[in-house]
Amino acid sequence: MEKEIKLFRNSKKTKNLLLTSLAVCIILLLVIIYSAGIFDGELKIKPLVFSSGAFLIMLILLLKSVLSLKDKSPLIELNKQTFYGKTTPVSKSFGIVNWEDVADIQLQKTGGDTLVVVSINNPEKYEGRLSKMFWNIAYNNSTNQLTLMYSASEIDIDANELFNLFNKSWKESTSLNR
């Protein structure tokens, strides 16, 4: 690999995600209003509590996404020795990873998204980078590996192309180290 690969935010995909999030917030707000008894005068506690919690979470995520639109830096960077991505909270917090520590790369369907899943050996080397909660999400006790996921939902390419880029970069970096 002669040069660095930088993948930037695709504004069309980002707008679609934000509009979808906004639509979910509006639906949750309508459920809150209905559960509060505005239409029929009957208070429904369980749906009100659930929809209020979900609405707050979605609203916070939506506002965070809108604020992140100012960031014009690449969402994923791949070069000869390392890679970095900030398309998921764990990968963003984790930071730069050396290709030499990668054990496996897979494509995995999770929820409504297809993610590139990178398994990393040598977790001791990366200890202290993540909060305890994120470490527990990323660390697999049985394999003694860290698992990082990267999404193509906001970048210029689809998940299969991202997977191919990761695989190609990983193979090229291992052939350079031999």
For residue 158, the 8-state DSSP code is -
Q: Are 89 and 17 within one domain?
A: no
Q: Are 95 and 159 within one domain?
A: yes
Look at residue 5 and tell me if it is in a domain: no
pLDDT of residue 61 exceeding 90, the answer is no
Local confidence band at 1 (pLDDT 50, 70, 90 cut-offs): very low
pLDDT of residue 56 exceeding 50, the answer is yes
Q: Are 63 and 135 within one domain?
A: no
Average pLDDT over residues 19-38: 95
Please provide the average confidence, as pLDDT, over all residues in the chain.
Answer: 91
The boundaries of the domain holding residue 115 are: 76-176
Q: Are 129 and 52 within one domain?
A: no
Q: Are 97 and 168 within one domain?
A: yes
| Domains: count for the chain | 2
Which two tokens mark 79?
A: 């070069």
- Domain C-terminal end among 30, 49, 68: 68
Q: Are 89 and 164 within one domain?
A: yes
Average pLDDT over residues 68-96: 91
Read out DSSP for 74-88?
Answer: -SEEE-SSEEEE-SS
Q: Are 60 and 89 within one domain?
A: no
Q: Are 161 and 138 within one domain?
A: yes
How far, in Å, CA of 170 to CA of 98, rounded? 10
Q: CB of 100 within 8 A of CB of 177? A: yes
pLDDT of residue 3 exceeding 80, the answer is no
Look at residue 2 and tell me if it is in a domain: no
Rounded (10°) angle between helices 45-68 and 11-35? 160
Higher pLDDT, 112 or 165: 165
Residue 2, pLDDT score: 55
Q: Are 54 and 135 within one domain?
A: no
How far, in Å, CA of 94 to CA of 128, rounded? 9
